[in-house]
Copies of this chain bind each other. A is one copy, B any other.
């Protein structure tokens, strides 16, 4: 049984506390938040406090607070020989200013209180200074998820950039596709099955193998036709991505 105290009452804290309470391998000893209101849903389920001096004993102290609050909150954790971890993808291990051992427990998904989550399908990246702590965090991660990885701070920075490409920029491609549809009275839902197929394909093919389209085929006639149909901003993006696809396959095929 792993004893955990969680600090925070936001989006991630909400889902992690629910998961920990329902997980037989984990004992959620206490939850701290600066305001009690955000953690009142835990009354009767575990101990709650808004006084950092009242923190109990546990194996892991997990900070689920805003990135820029990690340093100022962790500096108040003055005990030793405990494991203090944060949950941020964007912050290094040393953002933690506690005197204890340090680690990171980063669930790679976007959370909001309204949306239910299933942790077993959420990848978790962990990091710690000491092998012993790494093992403990891995044990915790495996208790809730099927996909657990050792990811150090350096790798996590790069993972964060990769996530911008496959999530934020991908969504912007959807926005541009939607713009084109709207401009020609085409219902955007007509593209939803293709969009989902494109994402699901990755379970059987690498993205490199899955690539199709005029840029991959080097079909310059279709490319010219397409460019003549779109606005200036779309053209710039179309040209740059077409060139990048050509380079990718020119180089490697």
Instruction: Please give, as numbers and ranges, the residues of chain B lying within 8 Å of A168 by CB-CB distance.
Output: 211-216, 245
- A227-253 vs B, CB cutoff 8 Å, 1 = contact: the mask equals 001100110111011001101100000
Report the nearest B residue to A184, measured CB to CB: B158
Interface membership of A108, Cβ < 8 A: yes
Bound-state Cα–Cα, A122 to B214, Å: 22
* Chain A at the B interface: SS class: helix
Copies in the complex: 2
A24 CB, nearest partner CB in chain B, Å: 24
- With A216-B168, A226-B164, A240-B240 already in contact, the answer to whether A178 and B207 are too (CB < 8 A) is yes
Interface membership of A116, Cβ < 8 A: no
- With A155-B185, A170-B173, A241-B169 already in contact, the answer to whether A233 and B247 are too (CB < 8 A) is yes
Is A213 within 8 A of B164, CB to CB?
A: yes
Is A193 within 8 A of B108, CB to CB?
A: yes
A17 CB, nearest partner CB in chain B, Å: 21
A181 CB, nearest partner CB in chain B, Å: 5
Report the nearest B residue to A211, measured CB to CB: B171
Is B108 within 8 A of A191, CB to CB?
A: yes
Residue of B154, B160, B190, B196 near A147 (CB, 8 A) is B190
The tally of residues in A whose CB lies under 8 Å from a CB in B reads 83
Bound-state Cα–Cα, A237 to B51, Å: 47
- A181-215 vs B, CB cutoff 8 Å, 1 = contact: the mask equals 10111111111111111111011001110111111
Interface membership of A180, Cβ < 8 A: yes
Is B147 within 8 A of A193, CB to CB?
A: yes
Residue of B167, B211, B225 near A157 (CB, 8 A) is B225
Within 8 A of B (CB), among A81-124: 90, 108-110, 121-123
Is A203 within 8 A of B214, CB to CB?
A: no
Is B167 within 8 A of A170, CB to CB?
A: no
Is B186 within 8 A of A158, CB to CB?
A: yes
Instruction: Please give, as numbers and ranges, the residues of chain B lying within 8 Å of A198 by CB-CB distance.
Output: 166-167, 170-171, 199
Report the nearest B residue to A176, measured CB to CB: B165
Bound-state Cα–Cα, A88 to B244, Å: 27
Is A212 within 8 A of B162, CB to CB?
A: no
Instruction: Please give, as numbers and ranges, the residues of chain B lying within 8 Å of A226 by CB-CB distance.
Output: 160-161, 164
- With A181-B158, A229-B158, A237-B244 already in contact, the answer to whether A192 and B197 are too (CB < 8 A) is no
